Amino acid sequence: MEKRQELYRGKSKTVHATDDPDLLWLTFLNDATAFDGAKKAQLDRKGEVNCKINAFIMGKLEAAGVRTHFVRVLSDTEALVRKLTMLPVECVVRNVVAGSMSKRLGIPEGTVLPAPIFEFFYKSDALHDPLINDSHIEVLGWATRDEIARMKALTFRVNDVLKPLFAAAGITLVDYKLEFGNYRGELLLGDELSPDGCRLWDSTTQEKMDKDRFRRDLGNVIEMYIEVAKRLGVPL
Ligand code: ADP
Ligand code: TMP
Ligand code: ASP
Protein backbone atom coordinates (compact mmCIF):
# COMPACT_ATOMS: atom_id res chain seq x y z
CA MET A 1 0.00 0.00 0.00
CA GLU A 2 1.39 3.39 -1.05
CA LYS A 3 0.70 6.72 0.68
CA ARG A 4 -0.21 9.42 -1.87
CA GLN A 5 -1.29 13.08 -1.57
CA GLU A 6 -2.72 14.65 1.58
CA LEU A 7 -6.47 15.15 1.07
CA TYR A 8 -7.32 16.73 4.42
CA ARG A 9 -5.59 17.87 7.58
CA GLY A 10 -8.00 17.68 10.52
CA LYS A 11 -7.64 18.69 14.14
CA SER A 12 -6.29 15.31 15.24
CA LYS A 13 -5.72 13.26 12.09
CA THR A 14 -4.47 13.65 8.55
CA VAL A 15 -6.13 11.87 5.64
CA HIS A 16 -4.06 10.76 2.63
CA ALA A 17 -5.06 9.05 -0.60
CA THR A 18 -3.48 5.68 -1.42
CA ASP A 19 -2.76 3.83 -4.66
CA ASP A 20 -6.19 2.20 -4.19
CA PRO A 21 -8.99 4.73 -4.88
CA ASP A 22 -11.27 2.95 -2.37
CA LEU A 23 -8.84 3.24 0.54
CA LEU A 24 -7.52 6.10 2.70
CA TRP A 25 -4.46 6.39 4.93
CA LEU A 26 -5.31 7.93 8.34
CA THR A 27 -2.51 9.28 10.53
CA PHE A 28 -3.30 9.87 14.20
CA LEU A 29 -1.50 13.04 15.35
CA ASN A 30 -0.29 14.16 18.76
CA ASP A 31 -2.34 17.36 18.23
CA ALA A 32 -4.97 17.84 20.91
CA THR A 33 -7.74 20.37 20.41
CA ALA A 34 -10.85 21.34 22.31
CA PHE A 35 -13.67 23.86 21.96
CA ASP A 36 -13.64 23.47 18.17
CA GLY A 37 -9.94 24.16 17.84
CA ALA A 38 -9.79 27.18 20.20
CA LYS A 39 -7.56 25.28 22.66
CA LYS A 40 -4.55 23.46 21.23
CA ALA A 41 -1.59 21.43 22.49
CA GLN A 42 0.82 18.68 21.51
CA LEU A 43 0.51 15.61 23.70
CA ASP A 44 3.37 13.16 23.40
CA ARG A 45 2.19 9.64 22.36
CA LYS A 46 -1.48 10.63 21.84
CA GLY A 47 -1.42 9.58 18.18
CA GLU A 48 -0.03 6.16 19.00
CA VAL A 49 -2.31 5.49 21.98
CA ASN A 50 -5.46 6.59 20.12
CA CYS A 51 -4.51 4.64 16.97
CA LYS A 52 -4.11 1.47 19.01
CA ILE A 53 -7.24 1.92 21.15
CA ASN A 54 -9.21 2.71 17.97
CA ALA A 55 -7.93 -0.42 16.19
CA PHE A 56 -8.87 -2.56 19.20
CA ILE A 57 -12.39 -1.10 19.47
CA MET A 58 -13.06 -1.25 15.71
CA GLY A 59 -12.03 -4.93 15.84
CA LYS A 60 -14.45 -5.61 18.69
CA LEU A 61 -17.26 -3.86 16.80
CA GLU A 62 -16.57 -5.81 13.59
CA ALA A 63 -16.57 -9.04 15.62
CA ALA A 64 -20.00 -8.04 16.98
CA GLY A 65 -21.32 -7.47 13.45
CA VAL A 66 -21.04 -3.67 13.21
CA ARG A 67 -19.61 -2.83 9.77
CA THR A 68 -16.85 -0.20 9.96
CA HIS A 69 -14.41 1.54 7.61
CA PHE A 70 -11.44 -0.02 9.41
CA VAL A 71 -9.15 -2.26 7.33
CA ARG A 72 -5.90 -2.60 9.31
CA VAL A 73 -3.19 -0.70 11.14
CA LEU A 74 -0.22 0.42 9.03
CA SER A 75 2.10 1.51 11.85
CA ASP A 76 1.94 2.69 15.48
CA THR A 77 0.07 5.84 14.42
CA GLU A 78 -1.46 4.97 11.02
CA ALA A 79 -4.47 3.01 9.83
CA LEU A 80 -5.88 1.97 6.46
CA VAL A 81 -9.62 2.59 6.07
CA ARG A 82 -12.29 2.44 3.39
CA LYS A 83 -12.95 5.80 1.75
CA LEU A 84 -16.41 6.91 2.84
CA THR A 85 -18.63 9.72 1.67
CA MET A 86 -19.10 11.17 5.13
CA LEU A 87 -22.44 12.46 6.36
CA PRO A 88 -21.92 15.89 8.00
CA VAL A 89 -23.49 14.92 11.33
CA GLU A 90 -22.19 13.62 14.63
CA CYS A 91 -24.14 10.96 16.52
CA VAL A 92 -23.89 11.10 20.30
CA VAL A 93 -25.23 8.57 22.78
CA ARG A 94 -25.27 9.38 26.49
CA ASN A 95 -25.61 6.88 29.33
CA VAL A 96 -24.80 9.44 32.02
CA VAL A 97 -25.41 13.22 31.86
CA ALA A 98 -22.25 15.29 31.25
CA GLY A 99 -20.85 18.09 29.11
CA SER A 100 -23.19 20.04 26.84
CA MET A 101 -26.33 18.16 27.93
CA SER A 102 -25.65 19.04 31.57
CA LYS A 103 -25.18 22.74 30.66
CA ARG A 104 -28.11 22.92 28.22
CA LEU A 105 -30.70 21.31 30.49
CA GLY A 106 -29.31 22.18 33.94
CA ILE A 107 -29.01 18.52 34.97
CA PRO A 108 -26.01 17.75 37.22
CA GLU A 109 -23.08 15.89 35.67
CA GLY A 110 -23.09 12.28 36.78
CA THR A 111 -26.87 11.82 36.69
CA VAL A 112 -27.37 8.25 35.45
CA LEU A 113 -30.01 8.09 32.71
CA PRO A 114 -32.73 5.39 32.88
CA ALA A 115 -32.11 4.66 29.17
CA PRO A 116 -29.50 5.95 26.70
CA ILE A 117 -30.24 9.29 25.02
CA PHE A 118 -29.40 9.92 21.36
CA GLU A 119 -28.47 13.36 19.98
CA PHE A 120 -27.46 14.64 16.55
CA PHE A 121 -25.00 17.53 16.07
CA TYR A 122 -24.20 19.31 12.82
CA LYS A 123 -20.47 18.89 12.09
CA SER A 124 -19.29 22.49 11.77
CA ASP A 125 -16.47 23.97 13.84
CA ALA A 126 -17.44 27.47 12.67
CA LEU A 127 -20.92 27.00 14.17
CA HIS A 128 -19.60 25.05 17.20
CA ASP A 129 -21.35 21.80 16.23
CA PRO A 130 -24.94 22.86 17.00
CA LEU A 131 -27.52 20.37 18.28
CA ILE A 132 -29.96 19.43 15.50
CA ASN A 133 -32.81 16.95 15.04
CA ASP A 134 -33.94 14.47 12.38
CA SER A 135 -36.08 17.10 10.73
CA HIS A 136 -33.15 19.50 10.18
CA ILE A 137 -31.09 16.66 8.70
CA GLU A 138 -33.79 15.42 6.36
CA VAL A 139 -35.12 18.78 5.17
CA LEU A 140 -31.67 20.32 4.74
CA GLY A 141 -30.51 17.22 2.84
CA TRP A 142 -27.62 16.20 5.13
CA ALA A 143 -28.88 12.60 5.20
CA THR A 144 -31.96 10.67 4.10
CA ARG A 145 -34.65 9.37 6.44
CA ASP A 146 -33.28 5.87 5.92
CA GLU A 147 -29.69 6.96 6.72
CA ILE A 148 -30.95 8.72 9.86
CA ALA A 149 -32.66 5.52 11.02
CA ARG A 150 -29.56 3.43 10.28
CA MET A 151 -27.19 5.88 12.06
CA LYS A 152 -29.38 5.77 15.16
CA ALA A 153 -29.69 1.99 15.17
CA LEU A 154 -25.92 1.53 14.65
CA THR A 155 -25.02 4.09 17.33
CA PHE A 156 -27.23 2.31 19.89
CA ARG A 157 -25.81 -1.05 18.76
CA VAL A 158 -22.29 0.28 19.46
CA ASN A 159 -23.48 1.09 23.01
CA ASP A 160 -24.62 -2.51 23.48
CA VAL A 161 -21.13 -3.71 22.54
CA LEU A 162 -18.97 -1.07 24.22
CA LYS A 163 -20.78 -0.48 27.52
CA PRO A 164 -20.09 -4.03 28.79
CA LEU A 165 -16.59 -4.03 27.26
CA PHE A 166 -15.63 -0.91 29.24
CA ALA A 167 -17.54 -2.04 32.34
CA ALA A 168 -15.44 -5.22 32.45
CA ALA A 169 -12.38 -2.93 32.49
CA GLY A 170 -13.76 -0.93 35.44
CA ILE A 171 -14.72 2.01 33.20
CA THR A 172 -18.13 3.65 32.77
CA LEU A 173 -18.94 4.63 29.17
CA VAL A 174 -20.59 7.98 29.92
CA ASP A 175 -21.06 9.16 26.32
CA TYR A 176 -19.46 8.97 22.87
CA LYS A 177 -19.57 10.51 19.39
CA LEU A 178 -19.69 8.56 16.13
CA GLU A 179 -19.50 9.58 12.46
CA PHE A 180 -20.85 7.58 9.54
CA GLY A 181 -20.40 7.55 5.79
CA ASN A 182 -21.43 5.64 2.68
CA TYR A 183 -19.29 3.07 0.90
CA ARG A 184 -20.71 1.34 -2.18
CA GLY A 185 -24.30 1.77 -1.00
CA GLU A 186 -23.62 0.66 2.56
CA LEU A 187 -23.57 2.91 5.64
CA LEU A 188 -20.38 2.23 7.62
CA LEU A 189 -19.01 3.53 10.91
CA GLY A 190 -16.11 5.90 10.14
CA ASP A 191 -13.65 8.17 11.91
CA GLU A 192 -12.35 6.92 15.28
CA LEU A 193 -13.33 5.63 18.69
CA SER A 194 -10.81 6.70 21.30
CA PRO A 195 -10.70 8.68 24.58
CA ASP A 196 -10.76 11.85 22.40
CA GLY A 197 -14.40 11.32 21.41
CA CYS A 198 -15.82 9.56 24.48
CA ARG A 199 -16.31 10.26 28.14
CA LEU A 200 -14.82 7.45 30.22
CA TRP A 201 -14.99 7.49 34.02
CA ASP A 202 -13.33 5.11 36.46
CA SER A 203 -16.29 3.02 37.69
CA THR A 204 -15.17 3.18 41.34
CA THR A 205 -13.67 6.66 41.78
CA GLN A 206 -15.52 8.45 38.89
CA GLU A 207 -12.13 9.86 37.87
CA LYS A 208 -12.13 11.16 34.28
CA MET A 209 -10.02 9.10 31.84
CA ASP A 210 -10.83 10.97 28.59
CA LYS A 211 -10.37 14.29 26.76
CA ASP A 212 -12.13 16.20 29.56
CA ARG A 213 -8.74 15.96 31.33
CA PHE A 214 -7.38 18.19 28.55
CA ARG A 215 -10.49 20.40 28.17
CA ARG A 216 -10.62 21.07 31.93
CA ASP A 217 -6.82 21.22 32.59
CA LEU A 218 -6.89 18.23 34.93
CA GLY A 219 -3.39 17.02 33.96
CA ASN A 220 -2.13 13.46 33.30
CA VAL A 221 -4.05 13.31 30.01
CA ILE A 222 -1.96 10.69 28.22
CA GLU A 223 -1.24 8.82 31.44
CA MET A 224 -5.00 8.24 31.72
CA TYR A 225 -5.40 7.30 28.02
CA ILE A 226 -2.62 4.74 28.60
CA GLU A 227 -4.49 3.44 31.67
CA VAL A 228 -7.61 2.98 29.49
CA ALA A 229 -5.53 1.00 26.98
CA LYS A 230 -3.98 -1.10 29.73
CA ARG A 231 -7.33 -1.95 31.30
CA LEU A 232 -8.83 -2.92 27.93
CA GLY A 233 -5.80 -5.14 27.27
CA VAL A 234 -4.59 -3.08 24.30
CA PRO A 235 -0.84 -3.69 23.86
CA LEU A 236 1.14 -0.42 23.55
P1 ADP B 1 -11.85 17.04 12.25
O2 ADP B 1 -12.25 17.07 10.81
O3 ADP B 1 -13.06 17.11 13.15
O4 ADP B 1 -10.82 18.04 12.61
P5 ADP B 1 -9.98 14.75 12.34
O6 ADP B 1 -8.74 15.50 12.67
O7 ADP B 1 -10.22 13.49 13.09
O8 ADP B 1 -11.32 15.58 12.56
O9 ADP B 1 -9.95 14.49 10.78
C10 ADP B 1 -10.36 13.32 10.19
C11 ADP B 1 -11.41 13.64 9.15
O12 ADP B 1 -11.59 12.51 8.32
C13 ADP B 1 -12.77 13.93 9.79
O14 ADP B 1 -13.31 15.10 9.19
C15 ADP B 1 -13.63 12.72 9.45
O16 ADP B 1 -14.99 13.05 9.25
C17 ADP B 1 -12.97 12.21 8.18
N18 ADP B 1 -13.04 10.75 8.02
C19 ADP B 1 -12.92 9.82 8.98
N20 ADP B 1 -13.00 8.58 8.47
C21 ADP B 1 -13.18 8.72 7.13
C22 ADP B 1 -13.33 7.80 6.05
N23 ADP B 1 -13.31 6.48 6.24
N24 ADP B 1 -13.53 8.31 4.80
C25 ADP B 1 -13.54 9.67 4.59
N26 ADP B 1 -13.38 10.57 5.58
C27 ADP B 1 -13.19 10.12 6.84
P1 TMP C 1 -20.81 17.16 24.41
O2 TMP C 1 -21.17 16.89 25.84
O3 TMP C 1 -19.77 18.24 24.25
O4 TMP C 1 -22.01 17.39 23.55
O5 TMP C 1 -20.10 15.84 23.84
C6 TMP C 1 -20.67 14.57 23.96
C7 TMP C 1 -19.64 13.51 23.61
O8 TMP C 1 -19.33 13.54 22.23
C9 TMP C 1 -18.30 13.68 24.33
O10 TMP C 1 -17.77 12.39 24.62
C11 TMP C 1 -17.42 14.39 23.33
C12 TMP C 1 -17.97 13.89 22.00
N13 TMP C 1 -17.91 14.90 20.94
C14 TMP C 1 -16.77 14.98 20.16
O15 TMP C 1 -15.82 14.23 20.35
N16 TMP C 1 -16.74 15.92 19.17
C17 TMP C 1 -17.76 16.76 18.93
O18 TMP C 1 -17.65 17.58 18.03
C19 TMP C 1 -18.95 16.66 19.75
C20 TMP C 1 -20.13 17.57 19.53
C21 TMP C 1 -18.97 15.72 20.74
N1 ASP D 1 -15.23 19.53 18.17
C2 ASP D 1 -14.54 19.76 19.43
C3 ASP D 1 -13.05 19.98 19.18
O4 ASP D 1 -12.26 19.06 19.07
C5 ASP D 1 -14.78 18.65 20.37
C6 ASP D 1 -14.21 18.88 21.72
O7 ASP D 1 -14.34 19.94 22.32
O8 ASP D 1 -13.60 17.90 22.17
O9 ASP D 1 -12.63 21.10 19.08
pLDDT tens digits, residue range 12-26?
999 999 999 999 999
pLDDT of the residue at 155: 98
Structural domains in the chain plus CATH codes: 3-82 (3.30.200.20), 85-220 (3.30.470.20)
pLDDT of the residue at 200: 99
Instruction: Report the predicted TM-score, pTM, of the whole model to 2 decimal places.
Output: 0.98
Q: Whose CA is nearest to atom 10 of ligand 2?
A: 198
Residues near 179 by beta carbon (within 8 Å), at least 6 away in sequence? 86, 87, 89, 90, 91, 123, 189, 190, 191
pLDDT tens digits, residue range 45-68?
999 999 999 999 999 999 999 999
pLDDT tens digits, residue range 132-172?
999 999 999 999 999 999 999 999 999 999 999 999 999 99
State what percent of residues in the chain have pLDDT above 90.
99
pLDDT of the residue at 76: 98
Instruction: With cut-offs at 50, 70 and 90, classify the pLDDT of residue 36.
Output: confident
- Locate the ligand 1 atom nearest the alpha carbon of residue 13 and give its number: 6
- Locate the ligand 3 atom nearest the alpha carbon of residue 177 and give its number: 5
Cα 10 to ligand 1 centroid, rounded to whole Å: 7
Ligand approaching nearest to the C-alpha of 211: 3
Q: Whose CA is nearest to atom 17 of ligand 1?
A: 191
pLDDT tens digits, residue range 115-136?
999 999 999 999 999 999 999 9
By the 8 A CB rule, do 155 and 143 touch? no
Cα 158 to ligand 1 centroid, rounded to whole Å: 19
Cα 125 to ligand 2 centroid, rounded to whole Å: 12
Cα 104 to ligand 3 centroid, rounded to whole Å: 17
Q: Whose CA is nearest to atom 6 of ligand 3?
A: 34
pLDDT above 90 for 97: yes
Residues near 198 by beta carbon (within 8 Å), at least 6 away in sequence? 173, 174, 175, 176, 177, 210
d(C-alpha 44, C-alpha 178), whole Å: 25
pLDDT of the residue at 135: 98
Instruction: With cut-offs at 50, 70 and 90, classify the pLDDT of residue 81.
Output: very high
Averaged pLDDT score across all residues of the chain: 98
By the 8 A CB rule, do 137 and 120 touch? yes
Beta strand pairing call for 180-183 and 85-86: antiparallel
By the 8 A CB rule, do 118 and 153 touch? no
By the 8 A CB rule, do 97 and 109 touch? yes
Ligand 2 site: residues with CB under 6 angstroms? 90, 92, 98-101, 121, 129, 175-177, 197-199
pLDDT tens digits, residue range 185-205?
999 999 999 999 999 999 999
Q: Residues 82-92: what's their mean pLDDT?
A: 98
d(C-alpha 102, C-alpha 97), whole Å: 6
pLDDT of the residue at 69: 98
**Mutate which of 54, 92, 121 for ligand 2 pocket (most atoms within 8 A of beta carbon):** 92
Cα 6 to ligand 2 centroid, rounded to whole Å: 26
d(C-alpha 18, C-alpha 5), whole Å: 8
- Locate the ligand 2 atom nearest the alpha carbon of residue 196 and give its number: 15
CA 64-67-69 angle, 5° bins: 130
**Mutate which of 25, 85, 86, 182 for ligand 1 pocket (most atoms within 8 A of beta carbon):** 86
